[in-house]
Structure 1
């Protein structure tokens, strides 16, 4: 079993993660259409259900139609969910149930590359999911398309951050049931206070301060102005927080995974 110090050593990455990423892509490609539709359905239902329902009661939020305000939240929400579900349920299956990771490591590929491939693959799926939502809301004229392409690298970065957070849970989980704690105690409360459905300025001061520490808040602070045809403020701060979460969580996830698998 690796020592505590060796588990926490810096990630040692190489281009060997690419074949692992490609392996995941080839498996997913067989079920690509149901996968994309599944990731698309939930945020689209929220978007049009709440957008037209609550939008009838609250015509404008922040000077724009409520459904347009909600659209940016749904892009980030979809990205977060796609990345999280991939590393939690599919990633856990490959790591623990199917023993796919162990089989891959019989080849000249280190665990660091396998975990990094899972991270990048989950972010890639999140990019597809977020881009699909962008396509839908653009087709319905809910956004200003002036800066819409700038959302694509942001979506990928957000996918990396939430994939890294999810990998921490994957490394700790004894079973699939464990993930309910993560969604119930972290993902759902964060979704409710990060500005997805309403401006965080409406929150009590203490809760508003807590919301500014969450990665989803910073993702939305960047995404919403871009979708409304404006340039966001404090770009470096928001990007730094998102990247910081992703970097720290990936290092933690890798250390926990080393301790779990390299016995």
Structure 2
């Protein structure tokens, strides 16, 4: 037997290693830096068009909604639309292309990165982008006279939390479809109704009671209400429940994204 010192016990790795996540995120940042103009344009122009079309168009017919100028009402509501467009759609198409066509995921997973870290990194990066792009309608609203409260600073983390959930949802859906053409069904039948019935352009109080109840299950509705309360300085206890609903949504979608991505990669 050797009298030398016993070897140090091997460090047990955690389920998710932050170094692996930052490594994958750095790759996304570098790729985004090469085409940031297209990314910013695609993620911000459509929500701003909705804002200008509804805010300035219907704003000529509707003066106030819930005691707020209609342009202010729409500019705060369109934050959720910007988050949806910049996270869910990018996650769906991006993850599908990188997994099925470019085989990027196979290359990444050949390094010391597992599926949990890969999904977490990509979803987190999209959530950060969603938080920043989601603030654009607020800035446009300020240009048209919106007077935000100091609590507007919380809009970015709210948008990031919402973006994390929808980026994970997009990744999960990507792992469920057979063809990239199937995304048209998801866009038309799922995401379009979600942002139309979220209180973005009109209050939900005029809808049938069943739809009002269903809206409480819509994460975008919670995002819209949180953004408005932050912007107008009207935060109260119910907003904690809305944050909890978004956290639950994000956790469930992350779990689904990890599992569906793992199944696809094993196939």
Q: When the two structures are superposed, what TM-score results if normalisation uses the length of structure 1?
A: 0.91
* 3-state SS, counterpart of residue 195 of structure 1: coil
Shift of 1:134: 2.7
Structure 1 residues not aligned, in runs of 5+: 1-10
Residues 40-60 of structure 1, C-alpha deviations (whole Å, 9 max, x = no match): 111111111111111111111
- Paired position in structure 2 for 1:8: none
- Paired position in structure 1 for 2:148: 144
- Paired position in structure 1 for 2:135: 131
Q: When the two structures are superposed, what TM-score results if normalisation uses the length of structure 2?
A: 0.90
Structure 2 residues not aligned, in runs of 5+: 1-13
- Paired position in structure 1 for 2:96: 92
Q: How does 1:92-241 map to 2 (within 5 A)?
A: 92-241=96-245
Shift of 1:233: 4.3
After the TM superposition, which parts of structure 1 deviate over 6 Å for at least 4 consecutive aligned residues? Answer: none
- Paired position in structure 2 for 1:7: none
Residues 163-198 of structure 1, C-alpha deviations (whole Å, 9 max, x = no match): 111111011122221111111111111111110111
RMSD over aligned CA atoms reads: 1.5
- Paired position in structure 1 for 2:73: 69
Count of aligned residue pairs for this structure pair: 253
**Counterpart contact for 2:75–2:140, Cα < 8 Å:** no
**Counterpart contact for 2:151–2:230, Cα < 8 Å:** yes
1:14 aligns with 2:27: no
1:260 to 252, 259, 264: 264
Higher relative contact order (CA 8 A, sep 6+): 1
